[in-house]
Amino acid sequence: MNSTFERNGEKSTVEWYTPPYIIEALGGWWSFDLDPASPENIITETACKYYTKRDNGLTQSWHGRIFLNPPYENPLIGQFMQKLSEHGNGIALVYNRTDSKWCQEYVLKRADAILFLSKRIKFIKPDGSMGNSPGAGSILIAYGQENVKYLENCGLEGCILYPKN
Ligand SMILES: C[S@@+](CC[C@H](N)C(=O)[O-])C[C@H]1O[C@@H](n2cnc3c(N)ncnc32)[C@H](O)[C@@H]1O
């Protein structure tokens, strides 16, 4: 995905990292077994185990509770979201793109809960500094009832919807 919508007004790249306060609100990095889309050089901890581009997280076996902030480019984002929806245990952080094919197929039809965050997330750059406010809001998506509870109790401001209800 490479529209200016997600570019933060800065150079477009898939290397945008999750700020620690999001991970802490969702139970802490130690509560996630795996981050299957991770940089080689970890700037912010997200999980107990990581797969990087070199491993190709898409071809690996996923285990336990997943934290996923996928690469925002096609077709990767859809492939990662499909795999998480089939795995059925984890939380994804993505831009709010409810009209995209991956969102229609793997979020709106398969997620157990979606938290539409009311505040925009400033993501972390590879040098550890904070990026600008992005051009779109973000959503947190829960698969599995344990992760629904984490979203309900995370304390991040926003509105939760339950697409299967
Ligand atoms: C948006 S960043 C999120 C990084 C980290 N998960 C986080 O939340 O801070 C997506 C990451 O996926 C990595 N990536 C790209 N293709 C991948 C692949 N096929 N398998 C695993 N990781 C990949 C990129 O290098 C990038 O570091």
Cα–Cα dist 52/104, whole Å: 26
Nearest protein Cα to ligand 1, atom 23:
53
Highest averaged pLDDT of the listed ranges 2-6, 7-11, 44-48: 44-48
% of the chain beyond a pLDDT of 90? 87
> Tens digits of per-residue pLDDT, 94-123?
999 999 999 999 999 999 999 999 999 999
Q: Output the average pLDDT for the chain.
A: 92
Annotation: CATH topology of 20-161 = Rossmann fold (3.40.50)
Q: Residue 1: which pLDDT band, with cuts at 50, 70 and 90? A: very low
Pocket-forming residues, ligand 1, beta carbon under 6 Å: 14-18, 35, 37-39, 44, 46, 51-53, 56-58, 69, 71, 76
CA–CA distance from 29 to each of 22, 25, 38, 44, 45 (Å)?
Answer: 10, 10, 13, 9, 6
Indicate the pTM of the whole model: 0.94
